[in-house]
Structure 1
Amino acid sequence: MNARDTQADAAPVPARDSHDAAPVPARAAGQPHPHESARAQVAGAAHYVDDIPEIKGTLYAAPILSTVAHGRLRGVDAAAAQAMPGVRGVLLSADVPGDKMLAAFAHDEPVFAIDTVQHVGQVVGVVVADTVMQARRAARRVVLDIEPLPAILTLQDALAAQSYVLPPVFVRRGDAQRALANAPHRLQGAFEVGGQEHFYLEGQIAYALPLEQRQWWIYSSTQHPGEVQHWVAHALGIENNAVRVECRRMGGGFGGKETQAGHLAVWAAVAAHRLGRPVKLRLDRDDDFMVTGKRHPFAYEYTVGYDDTGRIQGLQLMLAANCGFSADLSGPVADRAVFHSDNAYFLEDVEIASYRCKTNTQSHTAYRGFGGPQGVIVIEAIMGDIARALGIDALDVRMVNLYGTHERNVTHYQMTVEDNILQPLLSTLEHSAQYRRRQAAIAAWNAQTPVLKRGLALTPVKFGISFTATLFNQAGALVHVYTDGSVQANHGGTEMGQGLNTKVAQIVADELGVPFARVRVTASDTGKVPNASATAASSGTDLNGRAAQFAARNVRDNLAGFVAGLDNCGAGAVRFEGGQVVSPTATRHFDDVVGMAYANRIQLWSDGFYRTPKIHYDKATLTGRPFYYFAYGAACTEVVIDTLTGESRVLKVDILHDVGRSINPAIDVGQIEGGFIQGMGWLTTEQLVWNDKGVLPTHAPSTYKIPATGDTPAHFKVDLWPAPNREDNVYGSKAVGEPPFMLAISVFEALRNAVAAARGDGQAPLQAPATAENVLRALGTLIN
């Protein structure tokens, strides 16, 4: 008899009496467990793509960049580059073995520039060499023969020329023109808000390894391994099953690695295919700025009608998005801006026009909030303008316009707001932040202080959770229980520092009733979970956490059925908690039950699949229920400006945010704080400037300023709304990745209030970002 036979025939492990059981530890979910990679990251032991040991023979690529915003590409002279030491090849469009256009949905972006260049920084090809620096130096020696063509560089020029990457979209409800004509008061306004560089700490990078039989292994710093797989296969002219993409973690993404990480993977794979060697491509910070897209800059025009209380009666709104030279994700970004141009407010008679403008700049892409911030900011600006025009407090205007019940709870895109907590949430923050008392104190301060002026604003957020493209609201996961009782989970989401893997481990631990430390989540891998959606739209935990929960539940049910057979009870009577398996008659250690189950050939692994319920969406009319639920929040922010220099500072922030029943309060609070500060940067210091040649001079930390530690206010208070999600979401939680970003719009509104106080005429013509120069322009003391 062999060892396996002996194990299978062994007597069951004796059950321990229930009264001998140790106290049951707290469940993992709801606890502030440290981020699963925190210790490794602090110790420098967490591996990113550039830390992976390189295969012998690895080569390095560097991009050849266009120096012209728009032109006809007449030729490429690479002779000088090819003569340089270590150079192995120069790859251009002709070297792409498959489709020379990327597999983006609009099919409007080439792998490498073909006949024309469309922006400064467009990749014309790559140089491959033995070292990184050899490749970069040689790339600068490639001479491009480009005949300049007229370039469109501003939104105004694009609108005038009707230059669009996608057709305009119009959404209407009621009769806005009639409502405006009948309104007691009307206002018109226009302003712009700038883009934003993602500024992830780990830049864009890919490492392409050719394997046997035309197979590929791609390491990519990506939020969407499945799309990288598809893009690489498409460019190489092979099937998806020949490409495996892996991502253990990213050093930040913020949307910038949702589609655009795919470019680097394709460029590296094309080079590796041509040369038959592994190729790594890592952009330096300057090239990363020049090559990759940003948050979409927007321009707005509006006409609003309202009554004496500030309640909106009619609204005509124009949103123009600077999409850059190709569509990328501009369609759904602009759609979400339309969806969120109501924010927290009921708009009965409204017309919205959305223009998706083509310019000769980088192709702008996803960014935290995905168009939501660009929609929310315009309606919040309108609320502030109405309040100043009427001479009343802006919070009162906001409160009178909030979504309510019955006929005032349906959005302009025909979704009913069923989970509305706006009024109690805002009222709670108004009281806890002492909003009214502070407004009076600020008014007194501003009346006595000629140079420094303060402003205060309390603004809400209502953010829809789900991909607006319904098909992406699905996820898969695997859970493996090993014979020693340890657990491994794998899912289709990606970890970019936001704590997704930590939350998934907590969920799986509780489903199996084991300690959190027994669960390990492994790298995202298209060879394990196929066809996964991007980790985006704040849905990472909602989708992948639920899928992992279902996978773990399947394994648990297998074990429960096995124990029920041993103890002659129903499987539903078997509990898993505190590392133990408890039936009505016996208590056993989880590890013992697993060993027994394996010996009896019980399946100890399973898959799980989840698709978001209830959602539907008509893309042609932009109507339906695109979101499963809404996440809510509010922020009260106090600022001060120096009217002599235009400098500003955020003094105090009070936040009340809705995360449902938190799976990990520490991670959720961290996401709220980080999202707010990133949003504050978008609206205060982060200014992208393109010159009249289409060059981006703000392409490095010396010229582009993200918030630093010193910009965080000393008074920064975050509270969580104490109620679970009303929808059947995983553990009653709500998404927290993107909604807090829009809390920072309170900073901009507070700054506009300070500007209005300084001007003394009730006007606040401030453009975003509110740099010192823009503050002075708004004050009328800086002449262009």
Structure 2
Amino acid sequence: MDQSTFEDRKTISAPMHASLRHDSAHKHVTGTADYIDDMPEPEGTLHAALGMSDRAHADILSVDLSAVKAYPGVVLVLTGADMPGVNDISPSGCHDEPVLAEGKVEFHGQAIFCVIAETRDSARRAARLAKIDYRDLPHWTDVTDTLAHGAALVTEPLTLKRGDAEAALETAPHRLKGQMRVGGQDHFYLEGHIALAIPGEDDEVTVWSSTQHPSEVQHMVGHVLGVPSNAVTVQVRRMGGGFGGKETQSNQFAALAAVSAKKLNRAVKFRPDRDEDMTATGKRHDFLIDYEAGYDDEGRIQAVKANYAARCGYSSDLSGPVTDRALFHADNAYFYPHVLLTSQPLKTHTVSNTAFRGFGGPQGLVGGERIIEEIAYALGKDPLEIRKANFYGLPGSDRVLTPYHQTVEDNIIHRIVDELETSSNYQARRQEILAFNETSRVIRKGIALTPVKFGISFTATWYNQAGALVHVYQDGSIHLNHGGTEMGQGLFTKVAQVLADAFQVDISRVKITATTTAKVPNTSATAASSGSDLNGMAAYDAARQIKQRLVAFAVEKWGVAPEDVAFVPHHVRVGDALIPFADFVKQAYMARVQLSAAGFYKTPKIHWDRAKGMGTPFYYFAYGASVSEVSIDTLTGEYLVDRVDILHDVGRSLNPAIDKGQVEGAFVQGMGWLTTEELWWDGKGRLRTHAPSTYKIPLASDRPKIFNVKLAEWAEAAEPTIGRSKAVGEPPFMLAVSVLEALSMAVASTAGYCQCPKLDAPATPERVLMAIERLKARKEG
């Protein structure tokens, strides 16, 4: 990004809404940002490694660990029976996820034992020496196999219903029915999972964990150790990426490190190899979507019925709320007069899938866009025309009720799409592409404009809370701690901007400190795009309390009215006097004014009745739209993303530079999910895409050749969010659907746009080529 994009951190006062640099940006590029593996290890630190199953589903008949224990350097070998408390780390409370498997394994790569040794190399080598006898059991890794074997569920499904979808389908002028596969995705964070446990006195232990949910790690470690949460301190300064993969998956590594550290009274570090990390930890859920839709001659949807079946893995993990959210976003930006949506969270003999950016929302949205696409091809219309015909209405319209009975009160999708359609010159470019495809024999092009409407809040209502601890020291410097975690997304910088703005001081006066359960308790995961919303408001509340005390102090000392006291850049104005902030604070300290506060915030208005499938689960919606243009080689299926234009709504941005970077990164990650990142299990249930050599994330060369990203500067949150900003983490991920839709158009051109290509995701070059051949065969037939 251009240097001029950023404003100087040292000179900008009241910096909320300013494009300030990420607080660790210079450390990232110089290699001086400390991650857990960079921390000096305490003397005598030991290292851990997993002993993993080589069966997908089997009874464990016997385990011989004698060779493992005899390996040079091995100090301890743990099994499930060695857990001092409970051998379970299930975040859902279902008690279906053991720390170490006992009696049975349910996926290839499941941990059976853990080796603690003097070196990491010794631990990993020793872990391969176990002799385990199994009795193989039937296994299934795919959704279709699970359906064929009785469709066992890992958690309770959800139904969303409004109107009478079955009756409306019967009477609709037109009707379609189809099925779509949507693949999973590995988080592929730069920093893998890691934990460092340091034993303390009595029952105490401190765990440095690369986690998005320090309080959950705290609770799980306590659960496994059999100690109360007050004995466990979890600390996180930064992560090298998370994307949801460190919301629950950190529990196992932290628990094993803590148990072994307490048993041996020595520090223990656990850093799995990349292959082991990818094999043993959960991913984005794969979905098989069956859908039906009824519509009229203009393409207006009259009814939708759909079932979202998901590959959840062997345990519940977060599959319930993930599959719920898929249904919440199956409508995307479109009003369904009659709707019946069901989830089907299926058990498979694979690693338990988990949270991933969007949390099921992207899979739901893709299914909704497939319905729009099918209608467009059936009627011979531009899919954008069908999209516009089905948008939610503006406030006051009768087209504002979602399938979960929440009213859409802040709809700006019409303006977003209209502005992007104009600024990207979409219509003229589409005509040029149609003309190009008429004469080009090998290369075909496609273009698509797709919208995003994404709900913001945890659907588990109790997670919508946050705390912050703020100290103002007598020299005027400020200490900030809150429950959110920094995984590269700039959360710490944004919350510091909120605090600096509240006190009207330079952001350089605010010290950002590591997240720790010892300072702010009962934190929610930094997830659901709510990090800035929740923690920014909590920090603001703490500042409000301190400022209230300072105003009262000024009123008493100088005899002025409260309205005559104001915080202005670098100073406090008391009547006609301007007092430097540090001097004012020093005087308040001398007068024994409390200069510390614990702030708290809980999201208002939201409620959710899952049993009824009704409520207001989201505080507001974030909107966006993207236009993607692609070129495909019809002989090989290879393709290029030629140009992307994005207009995205982040409300009144807390930091436009950081938010723009989040939009760009989310789009590319979403593009990877929909085009190149393919998970593949073989017949023995082994994940074969478990390393960079076999799993293809987007490269720098895969990015759009022209990439125009703009924030909707006129947008402002309708609700009183922090600074009237909106969440940015997850919503732009789904903008990448325009790439899939553009590829679809390019493929459809090979058969005169008469058929919907029905591309499954990821639309790899192989799938694109097969779709081309399939359409040609139908045309010739």
Q: What TM-score, normalized by structure 1, do the two folds share?
A: 0.96
User: 2-side partners of 1:377 and 1:127: how far apart?
Assistant: 43
Deviation of the 1:54 alpha carbon: 1.2
Residue number among 29, 37, 49 corresponding to 2:36 in the alignment: 49
**1:504 counterpart residue number:** 495
Higher mean displacement: 173-182 or 623-632: 173-182
**2:178 counterpart residue number:** 189
User: 1-side partners of 2:257 and 2:640: how far apart?
Assistant: 44
Residue number among 191, 196, 215 corresponding to 2:204 in the alignment: 215
Higher mean displacement: 33-42 or 772-781: 772-781
SS at match of 1:46: coil
Query: Contact 2:210–2:238 at 8 Å: present in 1 too?
Result: yes
Report whether the alignment pairs 1:101 with 2:88: yes
Report whether the alignment pairs 1:772 with 2:761: no
Deviation of the 1:508 alpha carbon: 0.1
Report whether the alignment pairs 1:170 with 2:159: yes
Report whether the alignment pairs 1:353 with 2:342: yes
User: 2-side partners of 1:388 and 1:253: how far apart?
Assistant: 38
The one-character-per-residue Cα deviations of 1:481-531 (angstroms, maximum 9, x if unpaired) are 111111111000000000000000000001011111111111000000000
User: 1-side partners of 2:525 and 2:157: how far apart?
Assistant: 26
Higher mean displacement: 76-85 or 725-734: 76-85
Query: Contact 1:485–1:594 at 8 Å: present in 2 too?
Result: yes
Deviation of the 1:381 alpha carbon: 1.2
The one-character-per-residue Cα deviations of 1:681-700 (angstroms, maximum 9, x if unpaired) are 00011001011111011111
**1:18 counterpart residue number:** none
Higher mean displacement: 44-53 or 102-111: 102-111
Residue number among 720, 723, 729 corresponding to 1:731 in the alignment: 723
Structure 2 matches for 1:125-524, cutoff 5 A? 125-160=113-148, 161-405=150-394, 406-524=397-515
User: 2-side partners of 1:26 and 1:113: how far apart?
Assistant: 55
Residue number among 642, 645, 660 corresponding to 2:636 in the alignment: 645
SS at match of 2:157: strand
SS at match of 1:408: coil
Query: Contact 1:776–1:782 at 8 Å: present in 2 too?
Result: no
Higher mean displacement: 149-158 or 674-683: 149-158
Query: Contact 2:206–2:232 at 8 Å: present in 1 too?
Result: yes
Query: Contact 1:335–1:622 at 8 Å: present in 2 too?
Result: no
**1:82 counterpart residue number:** 69
Deviation of the 1:178 alpha carbon: 1.3
Query: Contact 2:218–2:229 at 8 Å: present in 1 too?
Result: yes
The one-character-per-residue Cα deviations of 1:323-369 (angstroms, maximum 9, x if unpaired) are 00001000000000000000000011111121000000010000000
User: 2-side partners of 1:169 and 1:284: how far apart?
Assistant: 37
Deviation of the 1:782 alpha carbon: 11
Query: Contact 2:156–2:320 at 8 Å: present in 1 too?
Result: no
SS at match of 2:691: coil
User: 2-side partners of 1:675 and 1:75: how far apart?
Assistant: 46
Query: Contact 1:193–1:297 at 8 Å: present in 2 too?
Result: yes
Report the residue type matching 1:728 in the other structure: P
**1:19 counterpart residue number:** none
The one-character-per-residue Cα deviations of 1:207-257 (angstroms, maximum 9, x if unpaired) are 111100110100000000000000000001110100000000000000000
**1:38 counterpart residue number:** 25
Report the residue type matching 1:751 in the other structure: L
Change (3 A) 1:686 1:108: same
Query: Contact 1:512–1:553 at 8 Å: present in 2 too?
Result: no
User: 2-side partners of 1:600 and 1:26: how far apart?
Assistant: 27
User: 1-side partners of 2:732 and 2:758: how far apart?
Assistant: 25
User: 1-side partners of 2:564 and 2:333: how far apart?
Assistant: 45
User: 1-side partners of 2:775 and 2:413: how far apart?
Assistant: 39
Report the residue type matching 2:391 in the other structure: L
User: 2-side partners of 1:169 and 1:292: how far apart?
Assistant: 25
Query: Contact 2:89–2:224 at 8 Å: present in 1 too?
Result: yes
**2:101 counterpart residue number:** 113
Deviation of the 1:763 alpha carbon: 2.7
SS at match of 1:639: strand
**1:13 counterpart residue number:** none
Report the residue type matching 2:762 in the other structure: P
Deviation of the 1:26 alpha carbon: 5.0
User: 2-side partners of 1:315 and 1:103: how far apart?
Assistant: 35
SS at match of 2:345: strand
The one-character-per-residue Cα deviations of 1:450-505 (angstroms, maximum 9, x if unpaired) are 11111111010000000001000000001111111111110000000000000000
Deviation of the 1:275 alpha carbon: 2.4
Report the residue type matching 1:71 in the other structure: A
Higher mean displacement: 685-694 or 158-167: 158-167
Query: Contact 1:123–1:291 at 8 Å: present in 2 too?
Result: yes
Report the residue type matching 1:300 in the other structure: I
Report the residue type matching 2:79 in the other structure: L
Deviation of the 1:762 alpha carbon: 2.1
Query: Contact 2:13–2:504 at 8 Å: present in 1 too?
Result: no
Report the residue type matching 1:324 in the other structure: G
Q: CA RMSD in A?
A: 1.3
User: 1-side partners of 2:722 and 2:117: how far apart?
Assistant: 49
User: 1-side partners of 2:403 and 2:531: how far apart?
Assistant: 27
User: 2-side partners of 1:550 and 1:167: how far apart?
Assistant: 38
Deviation of the 1:25 alpha carbon: 5.4
User: 2-side partners of 1:716 and 1:103: how far apart?
Assistant: 42
Report whether the alignment pairs 1:122 with 2:114: no
Report whether the alignment pairs 1:91 with 2:82: no
User: 2-side partners of 1:366 and 1:475: how far apart?
Assistant: 20
User: 2-side partners of 1:152 and 1:33: how far apart?
Assistant: 50
SS at match of 1:317: strand
Q: What TM-score, normalized by structure 2, do the two folds share?
A: 0.96
Query: Contact 1:164–1:355 at 8 Å: present in 2 too?
Result: yes
Task: Give the share of equivalent positions with the same residue, in percent.
Answer: 54
Aligned length: 760
Query: Contact 2:632–2:638 at 8 Å: present in 1 too?
Result: yes
Deviation of the 1:583 alpha carbon: 2.2
User: 2-side partners of 1:744 and 1:758: how far apart?
Assistant: 23
Report the residue type matching 1:113 in the other structure: A
User: 2-side partners of 1:146 and 1:598: how far apart?
Assistant: 69
Report the residue type matching 1:178 in the other structure: A
Report whether the alignment pairs 1:655 with 2:642: no
SS at match of 2:757: coil
Report the residue type matching 2:566 in the other structure: R
User: 2-side partners of 1:614 and 1:324: how far apart?
Assistant: 34
The one-character-per-residue Cα deviations of 1:628-676 (angstroms, maximum 9, x if unpaired) are 0000000011111111111111111111100000110000000000000
Q: Which runs of 5+ in 2 are unaligned?
A: 1-10, 777-781
User: 1-side partners of 2:328 and 2:71: how far apart?
Assistant: 53
Query: Contact 1:103–1:230 at 8 Å: present in 2 too?
Result: no
Report the residue type matching 2:765 in the other structure: A
**1:538 counterpart residue number:** 529
Structure 2 matches for 1:627-646, cutoff 5 A? 627-646=618-637
**1:11 counterpart residue number:** none
Query: Contact 2:214–2:517 at 8 Å: present in 1 too?
Result: yes
SS at match of 1:166: coil
Query: Contact 2:14–2:502 at 8 Å: present in 1 too?
Result: no
**2:737 counterpart residue number:** 745
The one-character-per-residue Cα deviations of 1:121-158 (angstroms, maximum 9, x if unpaired) are 10111111000000000001112212110002110121
Greater than 3 Å deviation, 4+ residue runs: none
Report the residue type matching 1:630 in the other structure: F
